[in-house]
Structure 1
């Protein structure tokens, strides 16, 4: 077990078991070259702009998946929790548009952009798992996004090569390093552990593990689309200034 598991989930709980079962895919996602570029400030602007647009489109479907979780929830308390998550995501979409504007992307640019193949494949996979399965299947598909971004922020903050001063991506890093976001991620991991106990997670581990690993791989591909976009429109990192 590495130190990154310590903040999320309980030892022996379902979340840590899922993460450990796909350790290589998980690290490829949470320490992808895109993330490393965020950390040291060298990520090409074209890569970040592509990511920002697609991430907005992703958030729309993420809210739909959380709405499905309200339907799948098995208690009023869980329904309230998920309803609050939907409100938070929809508020985040508005903040996301303002953030895009600060990088020269208008709301019209973002809304008019077509969904990439990576966005379609990831979001529809999560929704499909929720439609086909129960609340545990859906939450396991959602967790790599929610918890993974919290770990990404922690990895960046611990990176000895991190550009702490003048990093053009510092505001993005701050968003996911924020104590509020970190607490939300810990709650998501704890929910996986609790659902694992109440919904037979041990007996279903093989299937749940396959879902979790695939979501992690889809997250890595989501980062990669930004780097692929930058190959044809490379912006030297010295010019990435705000």
Structure 2
């Protein structure tokens, strides 16, 4: 799954990528030791993040000019919009109501990340925008697959097992595969090779913002309520 132009960008991100996919937040999810306040903070902000993520995909649809590309991007947009009610139900299991989610202010990390992606989308082309989106789309799949294959991941009795299993689920992974296929096509047709340095900078910046999002959750557990 993780090959081609995407794999080169991932490799170029180097230590920033490893810091993202192996962040302490992720490792504590795997072991079941993540403090509940850290996960609740993440869930709330992830809900707000998903709204802007949907906006970014709506922007992507509007920037395409061929129907097959529009359909591919619309499929991803619909997946995110349909995920929001599921996210709300999952949050309810953690004592978070939809009103709480909607009333929460966006954290600086959420603002930084989502507005960066949207700015890239408005100022660049479809390849720029999808490059900014891929660390989240494909990164979560890599994390999900990696945790499920890791013998040190504890699923039995782990309150975070449903989260882990969701991002390694075949349905989710098929959506990621479709996004990667679209991305690889764009890299070939929109001069990706000649733009590698600038695209790598976008990809790595989004990767750093992903890691900061994890850290935001951990910081919530260390801050007195």
- SS of equivalent to 1:104: coil
Matched, 1:197 2:188: yes
Query: What is the CA deviation profile of residues 109-161 of structure 1, one whole-angstrom value per residue up to 9, with x for unaligned ones?
Result: 11100000000000000011111110000000011110000001112112232
Measure how far apart 1:84 and its partner are: 2.2
Matched, 1:67 2:61: no
- Show structure 1 runs of 4+ deviating over 6 A: none
Aligned residue in 2 for 1:220: 211
Aligned residue in 2 for 1:93: 84
Aligned residues: 225
- The farther-off stretch of 111-120 and 16-25 is 16-25
Aligned residue in 2 for 1:8: 2
Query: What is the CA deviation profile of residues 11-64 of structure 1, one whole-angstrom value per residue up to 9, with x for unaligned ones?
Result: xx2111101101211111111100001101000000000000000000000000
Match of 1:46 among 32, 37, 44: 37
Unaligned runs of 5+ in 2: none
Decide whether aligned partners of structure 1 residues 23 and 186 sit closer, same or farther in structure 2, where only a CA change above 3 A counts: farther
Unaligned runs of 5+ in 1: 1-6, 235-242
Measure how far apart 1:179 and its partner are: 0.5
Whole-Å separation in 1 of the counterparts to 2:10 and 2:67: 29
CA contact (8 A) 1:19 1:26 kept: yes
CA contact (8 A) 1:8 1:185 kept: no
Match of 1:106 among 90, 97, 114: 97
Match of 2:128 among 122, 134, 137: 137
CA contact (8 A) 1:30 1:152 kept: yes
RMSD: 1.2
Matched, 1:25 2:16: yes
CA contact (8 A) 2:76 2:179 kept: no
**TM-score w.r.t. structure 2 length?**
0.97
Whole-Å separation in 1 of the counterparts to 2:99 and 2:178: 35
Whole-Å separation in 1 of the counterparts to 2:207 and 2:31: 23
